A and B are shown apart, each in its own frame.
Chain A
Amino acid sequence: MTRVKILLFATLRERAGGAKFIELNLPDGATVQALKMQVAREYPALEQNMRSVLTTINREYAFDEATLPDGAELAMFPPVSGG
């Protein structure tokens, strides 16, 4: 198992009670898809968000089949709305 830390922004951060990040345990070599499922299980308040959430690995957009590298910087957030 690996303990991973996920940075949260915007709606996700607020729904997680204002937490700038959450931490959870995942099997080694887990994918983005597995990460989303684990977040939904451990943080029911974020379950709805997991359908449209964007996930990044080391500041690049990552997709469901991507494997989480050891020690990577992970983040989750809604589609962006800057400008």
Chain B
Amino acid sequence: MIELLVNGFLGIMSIDTILFIGVGVFIGIVFGAIPGLTATMAVALFLPVTYGLSPINGMSLLMGLYLGGISGGLIPAILLNMPGTPSSITTAFDGYPMTQKGQAGKALGIGIVFSFLGGLIGILVLIFVAPPLAEFSLRFAAFEYFAIAIFSLTMIAGLSEGSLLKGLISASLGITIGMVGMAPIDSAQRFTFGISDLTSGFALLPALIGFYAVSEVFKSSESRELLDMKDDSEAGKIRNYTMKGFGFTFKEFVVQIANLFRSSMIGTGIGMLPGLGGTTANIISYGTAKSQSKNPKEFGKGSMSGLVASESSNNASIGGALIPLFTLGIPGDTVTAMLLGGLMIHGLQPGPLLFQNNGELIYSIFAALFLANIIMIIYQFSNMKVFVKLLNIPKHILFPIIITLCVVGAFALNNRVFDVYSLIIFGLMGYALMKLKFPVPPVIMGFILGPIMEQNLRRGLMMSRGSITPFLTRPISAVFLGLAVLSIIIILYRGRNKSYGNMGGNR
């Protein structure tokens, strides 16, 4: 284990690899910091770049982007009361009041340090949990994978924002998009309508950037005023802060240790679950920290504990989210879905065998995450002014450039214009769903998990000669199917308590 980890670090100790991590973290922070751009988009846009790179360099770049993308969200949350990414929502609750009190430097210092520590705890959990879990999951057959995919789908459809009903429709739509092309196992053509480009189905990358980036640009052209959200008073406040050291004392740090560990564990645990990522981890840790606190009244008024809970949990979710990806090959959210694509470009099939066949690469990825985390804290302390300046790039410049990069990414994928066309189709679809208040994440997850579910269902049924008994009697499979039923019950129960009329909430 230690030896493998040392080898992993040796694997990334070359100037170009470190450079790729550094570039990744920098761009990631910029994407995280600019509201409307997310870690998912950063990873999606740079995925094509990794085609030409070695697996280690490519994955290092993506890890840097992921970690930077989650970390950058704290900057506008604290300075502008505007979370750069959804996973920094609660950072704004206490970070912005601190800014208003003239403590922006302190708030940023706390946010950055605890992002680093939360990220570190998440990565450590990943390193210690993933290898034994991978070994355990070697025993999984199609039955278990089917059950896990079903469980993931129920969680994603039910826990997405808005109504359960619309979430389910979105997920079904995603599964449908995933069915276009050749069916698993027997390669029967479905929904191809004689169009040869459709035979190989839709690729994940155009779907993702279409749904997330292109639709966002369409939305932004609705109203020109909305693009410029900063008024002068806020812009003035941005420049008005000083950072001295970490911004907080050792005594203040010691008080937060328990909170740090609790929030990081919540973050990692929630990150592991499909469909739940940094955003949910963030909200739950904040709520927990508040309920455990001796003075909960401080929360929302500039409490350090709130900031610590928020920022340590969302970074800790990174390590957690990577666990199912590496050990089972099942991505739990959109970022890890992109990372799955990144691994497959290099012919690496994530899952238990990856640890056996490419152990060195896996440990190098772990090492790259470690280094990315360190680079993140250095960048944010030394270059905060640069990131704050980049926040001022107007959206009407930024969005068209992003569209150009989307086109590059979609085309470079297979060098076919069809993927660029599908980018627009998905962009329009995403925009329509957005307007009709259907949640988008379940579409993407249905698209990814649908084929996994179908393939394993059919493979399982072939192994059992058509009997469904093994799905229910094999312990792991039974547990996950049970959890799927449980999650449906919980969601239905929650849905009854919330008013049914209030569906399709808009956030």
The yes or no verdict on A and B being binding partners is no
A residues at B contact (CB < 8 Å): none
* B residues neighboring A (CB under 8 Å): none
